[in-house]
Structure 1
Amino acid sequence: MRGLVWLAICAIALTVGGAGDAYAAAAEGDHGHHDLGHGNASAMLEDPSEFRTDLAVYTFVVFLLLLAILGKFAWPKISVALLEREKRIEANIAAAEAKHEESKRLLAAHEAKLASAAAEVRALLEEARRDAESTKDEIIAEARAGARAERDRAVREIELASDHALKNIAETSANLAIELAGTVIRESINPAKQQELVRSALSKLNASNN
């Protein structure tokens, strides 16, 4: 590519040089024929606005030649380079879009996992709450059942103790009554002796209850 650029520069330089040589030769020829009008000829040669057909044709031909050379040797390489650059840009855009889509997919999957984890945590918390409620109810039920059983046992023990005490009182009362009756039968007692026997029986009854 650089060689083609240098070739174009050299061609332009040759074109300018050739045009200058042709312009100088034409000036010398005109100088011989117009020696008497040297002032007018010099003014005409130095006028930059003068149009020279031969120089224009020469420049145009060289330009077309240079354009043909560049079109044959440089433009295919330039076209290939531009096409490759366009393909690289398209590939980069496609890769960026693919990465963007992959990022969106990964983000959606991550959000779905987070939502699933949150739902699982809520389910575990709800299950733990239900288990706690059930355990609390079971503990309360067991405590109430234990309290009822303890109360029933205490009532039974009290009833047994009461029955036993009443039985002892009855037995003691019967024994005292029998003993008192035997004493009354065996001996004749006066009222004072009778009171003493009653007090003695009551003392024995109290002692047996204690």
Structure 2
Amino acid sequence: MQTLIIGAAIGGAPVGSMLVQIISFIILLALLGKFAWKPLLKVMQDRQEFISSEIDAAEQSRKDAEAAAKTAAEELKKTRAEAHSIIEEARKAGQQQEENIIAAARREAERLKEAAVEDIANEKEKAMQALQAQVASLSVQIASKIIEKEISSEDQDKLISDYVKELER
């Protein structure tokens, strides 16, 4: 039994026991390799693939977000340009409407002025006719008093016509 003890100075371990332990350790390594190590490696590889796909998806999402932001910025720029165009068109339309209103007001003022001039002329004509009638009547009365005779209606009309002609000059 002494041959089976190795390194007695170190504490001495029997060789048979050591062989059993080494064989047991190798069997344990084989079992762990088959039933634990390979599944563990597969889980770790699956996890690595999942993380890699998540990183790829996040990168794609970032690219999509950048593209969407760029598109939104372009749309905003277009919208601002359209708004500016609409405002400019509205300003021009407002100026055109202002000019149209002013032109219409001027036409209306001219029409009112012409109507007023026409009314004044009509009133003047009526006043002249009324004045002529009164003057004629007074003239006839004065003349008949002066002459002290009665004038016929034909003579009266002639005198009135002559008098009116003199007034018009």
Q: TM-score range by the shorter chain?
A: 0.5 to 0.7
- 2:89 matches 1:127: yes
1:107 maps to amino acid:
A
Q: Which runs of 5+ in 1 are unaligned?
A: 1-20, 28-44, 49-54, 188-210
Q: Quote the offset at 1:109 in angstroms.
A: 2.8
Matches within 5 A, 1:165-176: 165-176=127-138
* Percent identity (aligned): 23
Q: Which amino acid aligns with 1:83?
A: Q
Structure 2: gaps (5+ residues): 150-169
Could you tell me which residue of structure 2 aligns to residue 86 of structure 1?
Answer: 48
How far is 1:65 from its partner?
Answer: 4.6
- Match for 1:22: what amino acid? I
Using the TM superposition, give the Cα deviation of residue 102 of structure 1 relative to its aligned residue in structure 2, in angstroms.
Answer: 1.9
* Residue 71 of structure 1: how far off its partner (Å): 9.0
Farther-moved stretch of structure 1 (71-80 vs 119-128): 71-80
User: Taking CA–CA contacts closer than 8 Å with sequence separation of 6 or more, which of the two structures ends up with the larger relative contact order?
Assistant: 1
1:69 aligns with 2:52: no
State the shift of 1:97 in Å. Answer: 0.8
Selected match of 2:113 from 151, 160, 163? 151
Paired residues, number? 140
* Matches of 2:105 and 2:138, distance apart in 1: 48
CA distance in 2, matches of 1:180, 1:94: 125
1:140 Cα deviation from its structure 2 partner: 1.4
Note the C-alpha offset of 1:158. Answer: 0.8
Query: What amino acid does structure 1 have at the position aligned with 2:49?
Result: K
Superimposed CA distance per residue, residues 36-87 of structure 1 (whole angstroms, 9 cap, x where no aligned partner): xxxxxxxxx36x9xxxxxx9xx89xx49957973795355445433432321
For residues 103 and 162 of structure 1, the distance between their equivalents in structure 2, rounded to whole angstroms, comes to 86
1:103 aligns with 2:86: no
Deviations along 1:69-115, whole A, 9 cap, x unmatched?
Answer: 37953554454334323212211111111111221222223223322
- Farther-moved stretch of structure 1 (73-82 vs 118-127): 73-82
Separation in structure 1 between the aligned mates of residue 129 and residue 81 of structure 2, nearest angstrom: 71
- State the AA in 2 paired with 1:69: A
Do residues 183 (structure 1) and 145 (structure 2) align? yes
TM-score normalized by the length of structure 2: 0.63
| Residue aligning to 1:22 | 5
Q: Which residue in the other structure is 1:208 paired with?
A: none
Calculate the aligned-residue CA RMSD, in Å.
3.5
